[in-house]
Amino acid sequence: MKITRVSVWQIDLPLTEPYWLSGGRLKFERLDSTFLRIDTDEGLSGWGESCPWGHTYLPAHGPGVRAGIETLAPALIGLDPRSVDHVNRVMDVQLPGHPYVKSAVDIACWDILGQSASLPLWQLLGGAEASPVAVNSSISTGTPDEMIALINAAAEKGYTVHSAKVGGTDIAADIDRIEAISAALPDGHRVTFDVNRAWQPATAIEVLNSVTARDWVEQPCETLDQCAHVAGRVRNPILLDECMTTMNDHLEASRRGACEGVKIKPGRVGGLTRARQIRDFGLSVGWQMHIEDVGGSALADTAAIHLAAATPDANRLASWLCHYHLAIDPVPDQGARNLDGAATPPDLPGLGVTPDPDLLGAPMAIYGD
């Protein structure tokens, strides 16, 4: 089987409401997503999506996805898409780094691999069944009362796990947020306080040694070095997110005891192939993991949910679904959706999400024949 054509769509994904994180210094209103379809000489086609969460969240850029695919496409034509590791090696030779570009290509190759084997991705990724995965809410930064109201509204939709965005220059305000939210959680609910790298190490140590809450704290500072310094001086379990890109980052975090868990996002690490490798490393060192994508529609969310569903319960905390923050749905009624606080991956062969090109409009680029 050979790749004959790569088609690319740019899709604007407006958020239903402006979203603030990192202590209010980062605001998001619209995501720039790229849909990609790979066609083959045997009639199978696969879909992928890469959608950075804006361009201030990670070193990833919506237009950069399309520019990178333009560079990679000539090397992809003629490859067997089922040889996912080989496809990744070719991409790494042609364009070192830029994992967010490669994620859409890699997911589309997995989609074709699954269809050719007549197996859903959760099974190809090692799962025993299409397990429902706990879905977490995402609570934008605000006053304690505003954030507790958002958590209660999420609880009414079935969410039992929450990610509350904190982190700012006002230490007392962060202490208030954490203590108030932790105390107000409905029975049986869990929360992670996501700092999105806003604190300096001294701030993180002061805040976390001032609160009585012992909930998870995510990405307290910018770098792995800073987070490792903090992790050794506080009692809260630490989850790392933005500073973790390569396998080496994960090896280093484990060696240094910098965290008890990580977020694994295909769009940040380079697709399902890399995300699976990191997931397996996480299992070997006993991490607890969130497996979800950086952003995007139900297409990107579903790819991540397949991997999450193939991960043992004991090593899986929850997954966030970006598509509930979007004002439009480019793949209506398809893919993993929140049902009473859990999402189950499709049982169809491959990814199980097939966008209707008529809904997407004309592709902005077609490479190959």
Provide the binding-site residues for Mg ion, judged by CB under 5 A: 194, 218, 241
The verdict on whether 265 is a catalytic residue reads: yes
Q: What is the largest CA-CA distance in the chain?
A: 62
Contact 68, 86 (CB under 8 A): no
- 165 catalytic? Reply is yes
What is the DSSP-derived secondary structure letter of residue 146?
A: H
Provide the minimum distance between the beta carbon of 118 and Mg ion in the complex, in angstroms, as a whole number: 36
Q: How far is the CB of 186 from Mg ion (least distance, A)?
A: 22
Give the Cα separation of 49 and 90 in Å (integer). 19
Instruction: Choose between 106 and 194: whose C-beta lies nearer to Mg ion.
Output: 194
194 or 293: CB nearest Mg ion? 194
Mark out the alpha helices in 118-262 (DSSP H runs): 121-124, 144-156, 171-184, 201-208, 224-231, 247-255
Residue with Cβ nearer Mg ion (241 or 293)? 241
If residue 99 lies in a helix (H) or strand (E), which one and from where to where? Answer: helix 99-117
Closest CB to Mg ion among residues 266, 355:
266
Q: CB atoms < 10 A from the CB of 157, how many?
A: 12
- Give the strands of the sheet with 3-21, arranged side by side: 45-50, 26-40, 3-21, 365-368
In the complex, the smallest distance separating the C-beta of residue 84 from Mg ion, rounded to whole angstroms, is: 27
- Smallest distance, Å, CB 290 to Mg ion? 8
For residue 315, the number of C-alpha atoms closer than 13 Å in the C-beta half-sphere is 19
Structure tokens at 252: 């280093």
**Looking at the annotation, which residues are catalytic?**
165, 265
